[in-house]
Amino acid sequence: MAAIPRSPQPDAADLPALGIDIGGTKVAGGVVAPDGTLLATARRATPGFSVSETEDAIAAVVDDLARVHGGPLVGVGVGAAGWFDRTGDTVLFSPHLAWRNSTLRKDLATRLQRPMWVGNDADAAAWAEYRYGAATGADLALMITLGTGIGGGIVMDGRLQRGSHGVAGEWGHMRVVPDGRLCACGNRGCWEQYASGTALGQTAREVARSSPAAAALLLERVGGEADRLTGEDVARAAAEGDPLALELLAEVGSWLGQGIADLAAVLDPEVVVIGGGVSVLGEMVLRPARERLQRALPGRGFRPGPRVVAARLGPQAGLVGAADLVRRAASEGAG
């Protein structure tokens, strides 16, 4: 009796994958096609102070997406805000989440029973911009994500670079102001305390307390209570032309440009991609960043500097990159 031919199994490179992006406030997920297209999305709130509840939220998003998609999936890629070891098995530390030396990949793989890639969310976003966005084809690209803090990722010669211990790209914690503002990482004066969404809100509150007249338009938005001002309030005011808000954004942009100049002195990137929530403010932040970079670049006038561009993939970059990384891992494993 002739054998019944089996249908060929689809190659991992041709299958959609699930991407999960875990931030301080949300677990966002998506079904991502091999060309980077989002086929479905879902999200849950992040219970940031509980490891088990955060993992519950991840599992719920995965279940939601798998049910909606209904077809085969190559695996689950997870990008999380935190410092991972080189293998991605362990979250060493997360300033804004509950993980401390947590075996996240093992725990999720046991629970989800799917192939996994787990790593830093900014690494995942950097990979997405290299594969599908503003850094396509660059020989050395840096990603800077501006949100609650500052994250980063490095893609060099077509590979994501995680460093000897897995924590490369954590330049949000470069010390830019000796004895400056206290950071969640335990040090003072970190870059993210001056060039992030959190920094924008903190500076606005400081100005409103010391000069309420100058901050009158901002204070109107929060009933006159300076302590209620957030970076989002400043961003909305800037979009409406509030002079103080625009000045505060320019200050954040200037700090951003100084940090980029410092990174250029060490790494000499071709392109620096600015992503994260603050990046939606576009040229209000990028223009002062480029201006400061031109003034602060070591060897300026005698050497080229990096291009500084906005991310193209927006808030989905982390989950798109995580999905592509698990697909890549599965394809390499099969090969």
User: For 250-271, how does the pLDDT look when each residue is reduced to its tens digit (9 = 90+)?
Assistant: 999 999 999 999 999 999 999 9
More confident residue, 261 or 46: 261
Confidence of residue 1 (pLDDT cuts 50, 70, 90): very low
pLDDT digits (tens, 9 = 90+) for 82-129: 888 888 788 887 766 777 888 888 999 999 999 999 999 899 999 999
Confidence of residue 59 (pLDDT cuts 50, 70, 90): very high
| Average pLDDT of span 318-324 | 96
pTM score: 0.88
Q: Is residue 7 scored above 80 in pLDDT? A: no
Confidence of residue 313 (pLDDT cuts 50, 70, 90): very high
Query: What pLDDT shows up at residue 6?
Result: 47
More confident residue, 53 or 270: 270
Query: What pLDDT shows up at residue 86?
Result: 83
d(CA 251, CA 245): 10
Across all residues in the chain, what is the average pLDDT?
90
Domains of the chain: 12-127+316-334 (3.30.420.40), 137-311 (3.30.420.40)
pLDDT digits (tens, 9 = 90+) for 134-159: 999 999 999 999 888 898 999 999 99
DSSP letter, residue 6: P
Query: What pLDDT shows up at residue 98?
Result: 75
**Are 249 and 201 contacting, i.e. CB atoms less than 8 angstroms apart?**
no
d(CA 125, CA 127): 5
Residue written as token pair 């991605």: 88
Confidence of residue 2 (pLDDT cuts 50, 70, 90): very low
Which amino acid, 123? D
Q: Is residue 4 scored above 60 in pLDDT? A: no
Confidence of residue 9 (pLDDT cuts 50, 70, 90): low
Query: What pLDDT shows up at residue 334?
Result: 54
Determine whether 117 is exposed, middle or buried from the number of CB atoms within 10 Å of its CB (0-12, 13-18, 19+): buried
d(CA 89, CA 107): 9
| Average pLDDT of span 21-34 | 89
* In the chain, % of residues over pLDDT 90: 68
Confidence of residue 10 (pLDDT cuts 50, 70, 90): low
Query: What pLDDT shows up at residue 315?
Result: 84
More confident residue, 247 or 4: 247
| Average pLDDT of span 228-257 | 94
Query: What pLDDT shows up at residue 237?
Result: 93
More confident residue, 56 or 24: 56
* In the chain, % of residues over pLDDT 70: 96
| Average pLDDT of span 166-195 | 92
**In Å, how far are 89, 117, 263 from 256, measured between CA atoms?**
31, 30, 11
Strands (E), the chain: 17-22, 26-32, 38-45, 76-80, 83-84, 91-93, 100-102, 116-120, 140-146, 150-156, 159-161, 271-275, 307-310
Q: Is residue 52 scored above 50 in pLDDT? A: yes
